[in-house]
Amino acid sequence: MLPKFCKFFWGLLFISVAFSQSSRPQNAPSFPDSIAKLSAGLLPDVRGDSIANYEMEVTLDPAEKRVRGKMRLSWTNATQFPATELQFHLYYNAWRNNKSSYFNSVRYRDFDLSDFGEDDWSYCDIQSMKILSNDYFIAEDVVSNLEFIQPDDGNSFDRTVARVPLRRSVFPGETIELEITWEIKVPRPVSRTGAIGDYFFLAQWFPKIGVFENNGLWNCHQFTQTEFYADFGTYDVRITIPSGWKIGATGREISRNDYPDSTTMHRFFQKTVHDFVWVASPVFSEFTQRFEEPGLPPVDMRLLLQPYNLDKRERYFQSAKTSLKYYGTWCGAYPYGHITIIDPAYQSESGGMEYPTLFTGGSHWLSPAASRQPESVTIHEAGHQFWYGLIANNEFEHAWLDEGFNSYTQYRIFRQHFPRWPLTVRYLENLVPVVFSDVYISGRTDGADIYDGFRTNIKRDPMATPSWQYGPKAYRVDSYVKPSLMLQTLENYLGWPIFQKILSTYFERWQFRHPTPRDFFAIVNEVSGQDMDWFIRDAYRGSNVYDYAVGKVISKPEATLKGFSEPQGELVYQSPDDADADDLPPQIQAEVYIRRWGEAVFPIDIKMTFENGEEVLEHWDGQARWTMFNYRRAAYLQKVEVDPTHKLVLDVNYTNNSWTRHPAKVVASWKWTTKWMIWLQNMVDLFAFFS
């Protein structure tokens, strides 16, 4: 608690500026900078991991697809600014109707709603909201003050953000307690939540208080095309569902009560998390295992598996263990002691998603091990416990801080732990897989060529654009693809020991907190001891592409002297045909031009290999549009490799990075053309069936 004189100070200040706030723009600073500076040092001593605490009692009605609940929310102002209102996310209103900002966002505007019936939509309806009396507040019913706002696009139909103005501000360090009752209608599966058959996956299902930043503003975006952002706290949730149903949720189950009406109440409890999700269905089979690794704390793993995926039990567990091991070793230990893995139901749209202490995997029924399903998604989503769960970045604004980090780490694990990834093609409406065991496909961090449209999509938005503002087709490339390539390039440039130290330092400093990109880049510079701003400017703040290439290569015998010269001081005419002409073997002159076709700059190595085995490694700062190297050797130049170790995985075209004197293009092209010819012959002959 703050001393009384500070409260007086804040109260006076508040009154003096109150009139000036009435007409200020919604996102304008609350206080002049000078006052903000004065208040520095008066930051309340509030644990960042216990800001928004929820106690809930909810009941699922599967027949009506509704959840009714009551919660007690305890929220503490951990900033140095008073909060004059509270803002809430009501995510389930995103699918209230087709006029919401979600269904009109660039990412989802083509969502097919043609088969959405009355039962398929959703809502989140706050029925009552009361401030509870405590040391700071008197009891007050505030639900009538609730109003919906649209801070991002002004779309009056959108109800995913609500505000409640307060008669008395919540001053720094103070806690307000609210009792809220609400009801949600569970939608047909959309955006990783919903109900299908008797499978209910409830994510973002309760009125969730936004984040009040330390600039006096609420960071509470409308729900359109991004993921989420919330403060840490404690969740104590009692969920009543039909008896006999299995349930998985954030946290550990600490008690269970059976009721005479064939329902069971399950109580889950978890501290220091920023979200709560749960899933219930009678079809799950439950399995448990324990993760144990020297140097890392043990983790109890609980797996809820679909009946058609029982054969994948061990694959799920091994993948989760692999993820916990490598993330723990490289970044930092997983602190919660338990984790729940959900094998999502078919058509539930809930697969491949992360929540604190719980994540969903996903696999087809027919899924050979080589297809890496469910391994790939399990490693990725388990990894999100670290990047997102513990390092709780604002996913509305910096989605790449979890998705990009996680993709990078995931693919590092693949290279470390798994054999090469063969191609799997699924036939018959994606139901039947065939593995092509000697055709290997690239991982996400193998190079920028691997994603169709990367070279067109990469210029759509810089990574630094807030995620909720990405334009069409930019979200995936700027949240997943480019960030993971950027991080891999950084690792390649700085070396793994330094980069691993960067990751672990960042993890240690920012767990249970909300870092921004600036925080991460500051650690990069600090730990590496270098100013990497030149790279961050191009890779993160800009949308320029990297493309270095071999240009022209000349390797030919040096011309024998013909014409006038003064070999012994006297002017004589020399010709190669002269009897006494020098008959030493000719030297080979080589000229190599290296080009920078892209606008982004990166220092690169160039390796020259001569036919006598000699290798020369050059280094170029990559600044100019081209550079040239020339040599005089006894052997021809055999090959040129720009960035031979492929440090710059952001290079959008690695094919043009090399040159060889004896290209294998003819045999290579005919190898694959003959295969294609067999395909064509077969395909054309199929028409004979219809003749």
Restricting to residues 526-585, name those near another protein by CB under 8 A: 550, 553
Spell out, one character per residue from 436 to 465, where the chain touches another protein: x when CB under 8 A holds, - when not: xxxxxxx---xx-xxxxxxx----------
425 near another protein (CB under 8 A): yes
Residue 520 CB, shortest distance to another protein, in Å, is 28
Residue with Cβ nearer another protein (297 or 433): 433
CA distance 398 to 273: 19
Name which of 565 and 673 has its Cβ closer to another protein.
673
**Shortest spacing between CB 641 and another protein, in angstroms:** 7
Q: Which residues of 178-213 are buried (b: 16+ CB within 10 A; e: fewer)?
A: bbbbbbbbbbbbbbbbbbbeebbbbbbbbbbbbbbe
**DSSP character at residue 401:** H
State the pairing for strand pair 233-242/52-61: parallel
Strands (E), 316-469: 338-342, 353-355, 358-360, 422-427, 432-440
Min CB(336)–another protein separation in Å:
29
- The contact mask relative to another protein for 621-640 (x = CB under 8 A, - = no) is ------------------x-
Annotate each residue in 151-190 with x if it binds another protein (CB under 8 A) or - if it does not, as one string.
----------------------------------------
User: Within 102-131, which residues bind another protein (CB under 8 A)?
Assistant: 115
Task: Provide the minimum distance between the beta carbon of 492 and another protein in the complex, in angstroms, as a whole number.
Answer: 15
- Residue of 197, 298, 495, 557 that binds another protein (CB under 8 A): 197
Cβ at position 96, least distance to another protein in Å: 21
- Shortest Cβ distance from residue 132 to another protein (Å)? 41
| String marking each residue 347-386 x if it binds another protein according to CB under 8 A | xx---------------xxx--------------------
The only residue of 14, 157, 269, 308 in contact with another protein, by rule CB under 8 A: 308
Task: State which of positions 599-618 bind another protein (CB under 8 A).
Answer: none
Q: Candidates 31, 182, 535, 659: give the one binding another protein (CB under 8 A).
A: 659
**Of the ranges 1-9, 37-45, 422-430, 483-491, which one interacts with another protein (CB under 8 A)?**
422-430
Peptide bond just before 374 cis, omega within 30 deg:
yes
What minimum distance in Å lies between the beta carbon of 144 and another protein? 39
Applying CB under 8 A, does 657 fall inside the site for another protein?
Answer: yes
In contact, 176 and 75? CB cutoff 8 Å:
yes
65 binds another protein (CB under 8 A): no
User: Between residues 584 and 684, which has the closer beta carbon with respect to another protein?
Assistant: 684
Report d(CA 73, CA 175) in Å as an integer. 10
Q: Of 112, 261, 583, 685, which one interacts with another protein (CB under 8 A)? A: 685
Asked if residue 682 binds another protein (CB under 8 A), the reply is yes
Q: How many CB atoms lie within 10 A of CB 645?
A: 10
User: Of the two residues 283 and 522, which places its CB atom closer to another protein in the complex?
Assistant: 283
Q: Looking at this protein, which amino acid is placed at residue 223?
A: F
Of residues 268 through 287, those in contact with another protein by CB under 8 A are: 281, 283
CA distance 543 to 461: 6
Give least dist CB 549 to another protein, A. Answer: 10
Chosen residue from 290, 415, 556, 671 binding another protein by CB under 8 A: 671
Q: Residue 104: is it exposed, middle or buried by C-beta count within 10 angstroms (0-12/13-18/19+)?
A: middle
* Buried-exposed string 266-295: b where 16+ CB fall within 10 A, e elsewhere: bbbbbebbbbbbbbbbeebeebebebeeee
Interaction between residue 296 and another protein (CB under 8 A): no
Q: Are strands 338-342 and 296-305 parallel, antiparallel or unpaired?
A: parallel
Cα distances (angstroms) measured from residue 70 to each of 83, 195, 219, 639: 24, 21, 25, 71
Among 15, 428, 571, 584, binds another protein (CB under 8 A): 428
> How far is the first Cα of the chain from the last one, in angstroms, to the nearest whole number?
87
| CB closer to another protein, 134 vs 442 | 442
**From CA 317, how far away is CA 375, in angstroms rounded?**
9
The least distance separating another protein from the CB of residue 543, rounded to whole angstroms, comes to 18
Binding span for another protein by CB under 8 A among 102-110, 235-243, 537-545, 647-655: 647-655
Nearest to 640 by CA among 669, 624, 618: 618
- Interacting residue with another protein among 34, 114, 568, 655 (CB under 8 A): 655
| CB of 402 or CB of 651, closer to another protein | 651
In whole angstroms, give the CA distance from residue 95 to residue 92.
6
Q: Could you write out the three-class secondary structure of 313-331? A: HHHHHHHHHHHHHHHHHHC
Nearer to another protein, 612 or 674 (CB): 674
Sequential DSSP letters for 132-174: PP-SS---EE-GGG-EE--TTT--TT--SEEEEEEEEEE-TT-
3-class secondary-structure state, position 556: strand
How long is the chain?
A: 691
Nearest to 412 by CA among 294, 347, 304, 491: 491
Please tell me whether residue 256 adopts helix, strand or coil conformation: strand
Q: Which CB, 14 or 116, lies closer to another protein?
A: 116
C-alpha span between 635 and 556 (Å, rounded): 9
Binding residue count for another protein, defined by CB under 8 A: 82
Smallest separation (angstroms) from another protein to the CB of 689: 7
Q: Please give, one letter per residue, the 3-state secondary structure of 285-352.
A: EEEEEEEEECCEEEEEEEEEECHHHHHHHHHHHHHHHHHHHHHHHHCCCCCCCEEEEECCCCCCCCCC
Cα separation, 246 vs 60, in Å, equals: 13
Name the residue nearer to another protein (CB basis): 40 or 678. 678
Q: Does 415 bind another protein (CB under 8 A)?
A: no
Smallest distance, another protein to C-beta of residue 554, A: 12
Crossing angle for the helix pair 400-417 and 517-528, nearest 10 degrees? 50
Q: Which is closer to another protein, CB of 94 or CB of 196?
A: 196
Task: Indicate whether 234 belongs to the interface with another protein (CB under 8 A).
Answer: no
Q: Give me the least distance between CB of 644 and another protein, in Å please.
A: 10
